[in-house]
Amino acid sequence: MVKSELVREICKENPHLYERDIENIVSAIINEITVALCQLERVELRGFGVFSVKERTARTGRNPRTGDAVEVEKKYIPFFRVGKELSQRLNKN
């Protein structure tokens, strides 16, 4: 599902709201999560999951074509850990 599909689904469930307002709300939520992650903060959405940032240390890698050693700088990557409720809903039998 892409953002526009999410907005359409929310519109279907809430016909009393304008689509542009829902789009602004979804964009604001995504923006706030992005800003928090850029500040290396953790974002927890109860029942859904936790967004956090992990640091990958600098290391020496290999170029797969030539086999030459390549220095890889340290970097931060986004990480998502699924919440208990979502995990249970996905795996219910």
Q: Spell out the domain ranges in the chain.
A: 1-39, 41-93
Q: By percentage, how much of the chain surpasses pLDDT 70? A: 99
Q: SS3 helix, strand, coil % of the chain, rounded to 5?
A: 40, 30, 30
> What pLDDT is stored for residue 92 in this prediction?
86
The pTM of the full predicted model, rounded to 2 decimals, is 0.80
> What pLDDT is stored for residue 41 in this prediction?
96
CATH number for domain 41-93, candidates 2.102.10.10, 1.10.3720.10, 4.10.520.10, 2.40.50.140: 4.10.520.10
CB 74 within 8 A of CB 57: yes
Structure confidence by residue, pLDDT tens digits, 4-47: 999 999 999 999 999 999 999 999 999 999 999 999 999 999 99
Tell me what the mean pLDDT of segment 40-67 comes to: 95
Question: Would the pLDDT of 93 be above 90?
Answer: no
Distance CA 10, CA 4 (A): 10
